[in-house]
């Protein structure tokens, strides 16, 4: 009896992939650019740039409204991009993909359209201490308006959510549980399938912020089982101004429009209107057509790479960083869980040096990182930190980039007497 083994996909070749990203072929202050800020926004491959350029050069027309060749081609590409993004995240019905400007708008859409109908006085919304402001502020506004209660799953000292406290909070019978798939500051990958299952058993709906997950790992929304899932296109190799809200069809059909105007209507009379079908009910006015087409091209690019391979590559990078940085940069303080529990994000501090100073000096060596609170001020308060520096990785990064980061950090320490 023989056992067949599944062939292992060849690893990514980031050196070869860099040729797909023209922005990386430059020097900054006399040094080759080392881009380590993909958690803020990813760089864009040529295929995405070409798709957007082709639209403006060849097909520039409004979608859905013109009965002529340019408009028909633009509409086909615009709606075709919706199909591609649905395939990327494991969704069988592309009409449950709503175009937004970013994950922030997607989360606000949920809060305004679903939340204002279903959250009332005394209702509980469960969030976590590690949320991006985009998954905090909309719920704060809603809770203040409706006199609802916000409760928070804390983290432990390793930056992992306290699942025992989550179990206690579920006894409050929350209406909604909303949490990030991957922390943009700690890199923590949360157990989304298990948390979704437990929340549903408690009678809650689940909203997941997937901005740091979709670009970096396989995401199967059907397997996760959430009710809402949001992400930004610009972090997933697509253009700025592109984002996605996915929600269960029955939820989208029951939710009122977020914005009113053209294209989101079926009929308009002086005193009443009838709404369009989903997803167009939530896409008022002329959309950012080129951004949607660009995001579709980005989805094609990621699927061609293979998200399993993307995840494996970034796990290798983060493991390398967590090994090299403490050895090569004495005294560096790292935050977050072990490599096998995190995405491609490493936040850190150099004692005695403000993160903004760290980032500014690194820029002298062509190394681009983030510095600040990364839109996670409550998480920084929990860790008793005013700010951190953050290096984050993409498919185009190599171990040599981490070596360059370590060398530049030693220069920071030398400059500041560390």
Q: Write out pLDDT tens, residues 39-92.
A: 999 999 999 999 999 999 999 999 998 899 999 999 999 999 999 999 999 999
Based on its alpha-carbon atoms, the radius of gyration of the chain, rounded to whole angstroms, reads 22
Question: Tell me, what's the pLDDT at 275?
Answer: 94
DSSP 148: -
Does the pLDDT at position 403 exceed 90?
yes
Q: What is the mean pLDDT of residues 125-147?
A: 98
pLDDT tier for residue 38 given thresholds of 50, 70 and 90: very high
Q: Write out pLDDT tens, residues 67-82.
A: 999 999 999 999 999 9
301: left (phi over 0), alpha (psi -120 to 50) or beta: alpha
- Across 325-405, where does the E strand assignment appear? 333-335, 345-349, 367-368, 370-372, 388-392
| Three-state SS at 324 | helix
Comparing C-alpha atoms, which of 241, 248, 238 is closest to residue 206? 248
Query: Is the peptide bond preceding residue 279 cis, with omega within 30 degrees of 0?
Result: yes
pLDDT tier for residue 417 given thresholds of 50, 70 and 90: confident
Pick the catalytic residue from 202, 375, 377, 385: 375
How far is the C-alpha of 309 from the C-alpha of 305, rounded, in Å? Answer: 7
Mean pLDDT of the chain: 96
Question: Tell me, what's the pLDDT at 9?
Answer: 65
Q: Write out pLDDT tens, residues 234-256.
A: 999 999 999 999 999 999 999 99
Q: Does domain 14-38+307-415 have CATH number 3.90.1150.10?
A: yes
CB atoms within 10 A of CB 370: 22
CB atoms within 10 A of CB 66: 14
Backbone angles phi, psi at 367, to 5 degrees: -100, 120
Cβ contact 397:391 at 8 Å: no
| Three-state SS at 413 | helix
241: left (phi over 0), alpha (psi -120 to 50) or beta: left
Q: What is the mean pLDDT of residues 329-356?
A: 97
End-to-end CA distance of the chain: 63
**Which residues lie across from 347 on neighbouring strands?**
335, 390
Does the pLDDT at position 2 exceed 60?
no
How far is the C-alpha of 92 from the C-alpha of 261, rounded, in Å? Answer: 29
Question: Tell me, what's the pLDDT at 66?
Answer: 81
How far is the C-alpha of 276 from the C-alpha of 282, rounded, in Å? Answer: 9
Place of tokens 């970013």: 102
Question: Tell me, what's the pLDDT at 7?
Answer: 44
User: Where do the CATH 3.40.640.10 domains begin and end in the chain?
Assistant: 49-304
Give the 3-state secondary structure percentages of the chain, helix then strand then coil, rounded to 5.
Answer: 45, 20, 40
At the top level of CATH, the class of 49-304 is alpha beta
Residue 29 to residues 33, 90, 367, Cα–Cα distance (Å): 9, 43, 10
Q: Any idea which of 25-34, 259-268, 351-360 has the lowest mean pLDDT?
A: 259-268
How far is the C-alpha of 395 from the C-alpha of 252, rounded, in Å? Answer: 34
Question: Tell me, what's the pLDDT at 193?
Answer: 98
How far is the C-alpha of 94 from the C-alpha of 100, rounded, in Å? Answer: 14
Question: Tell me, what's the pLDDT at 132?
Answer: 98
Question: Tell me, what's the pLDDT at 4?
Answer: 37
How far is the C-alpha of 345 from the C-alpha of 370, rounded, in Å? Answer: 11
Cβ contact 39:337 at 8 Å: no
Contacts of 67 by beta carbon, 8 Å cutoff, 6+ apart: none
pLDDT tier for residue 3 given thresholds of 50, 70 and 90: very low
User: Where do the CATH 3.90.1150.10 domains begin and end in the chain?
Assistant: 14-38+307-415
Does the pLDDT at position 222 exceed 70?
yes
CB atoms within 10 A of CB 14: 18
Active site residue 388: no
- Across 249-360, where does the E strand assignment appear? 265-268, 273-275, 333-335, 345-349
How far is the C-alpha of 162 from the C-alpha of 172, rounded, in Å? Answer: 16
Place of tokens 């615009």: 78
Q: Write out pLDDT tens, residues 178-212.
A: 999 999 999 999 999 999 999 999 999 999 999 99
How far is the C-alpha of 189 from the C-alpha of 301, rounded, in Å? Answer: 23
Does the pLDDT at position 279 exceed 50?
yes
Does the pLDDT at position 383 exceed 60?
yes
Question: Tell me, what's the pLDDT at 181?
Answer: 98
Question: Tell me, what's the pLDDT at 183?
Answer: 98
pLDDT tier for residue 418 given thresholds of 50, 70 and 90: low
Cβ contact 126:180 at 8 Å: no
Does the pLDDT at position 406 exceed 80?
yes
């Amino acid at each position: 009896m023989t056992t067949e083994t599944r062939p292992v996909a060849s690893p990514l070749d980031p050196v070869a992939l860099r040729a797909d990203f023209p922005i990386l072929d430059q020097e900054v202050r006399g040094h080759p650019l080392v881009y380590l800020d993909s958690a803020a926004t990813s760089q864009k491959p040529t295929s995405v740039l070409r798709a957007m350029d082709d639209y403006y050069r060849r097909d520039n027309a409004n979608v859905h409204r013109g009965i002529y060749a340019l408009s028909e081609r633009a509409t086909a590409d615009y709606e075709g991009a919706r199909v591609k993004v649905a395939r990327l995240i494991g969704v069988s019905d592309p009409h449950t993909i709503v175009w937004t400007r970013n994950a922030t708008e997607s989360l606000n859409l949920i809060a305004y359209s679903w939340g204002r109908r279903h959250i009332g006085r005394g209702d509980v919304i469960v969030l976590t201490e590690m949320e991006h402001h985009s998954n905090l502020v909309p719920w704060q506004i809603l809770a203040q308006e409706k006199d609802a209660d916000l409760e928070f799953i804390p983290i432990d000292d390793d930056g992992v959510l306290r699942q025992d406290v989550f179990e206690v909070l579920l006894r409050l019978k929350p209406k909604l549980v909303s949490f990030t798939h991957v922390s943009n500051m700690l890199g923590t990958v949360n157990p989304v399938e298990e948390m979704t299952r437990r929340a549903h058993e408690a009678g809650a709906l689940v909203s997941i912020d997937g901005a740091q997950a979709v670009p970096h790992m396989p995401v199967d929304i059907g397997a996760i089982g959430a009710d809402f899932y949001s992400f930004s296109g610009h972090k997933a190799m697509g253009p700025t101004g592109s984002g996605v809200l996915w929600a269960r069809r029955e939820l989208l059909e029951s939710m009122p429009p977020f914005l009113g105007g053209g294209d989101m209507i079926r009929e308009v009379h002086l005193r009443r209107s009838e709404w369009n079908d989903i997803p167009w009910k939530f896409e008022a006015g002329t959309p950012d057509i080129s951004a949607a087409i660009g995001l579709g091209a980005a989805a094609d690019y990621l699927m061609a790479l293979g998200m399993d391979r993307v995840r494996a590559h970034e796990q290798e990078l983060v493991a390398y960083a967590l090994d090299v940085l403490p050895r090569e940069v004495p005294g560096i303080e790292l935050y977050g869980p072990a490599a096998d529990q995190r995405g491609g994000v490493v936040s850190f501090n150099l004692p005695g040096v403000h993160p903004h100073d760290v980032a500014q000096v690194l820029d002298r060596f062509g190394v681009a990182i983030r510095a600040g609170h990364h839109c996670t001020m409550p998480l920084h308060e929990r860790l008793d930190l005013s700010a951190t520096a953050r290096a984050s990785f993409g498919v185009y990064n190599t171990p040599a980039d981490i070596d360059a980061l370590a060398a530049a950090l030693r220069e920071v320490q030398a400059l500041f007497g560390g």
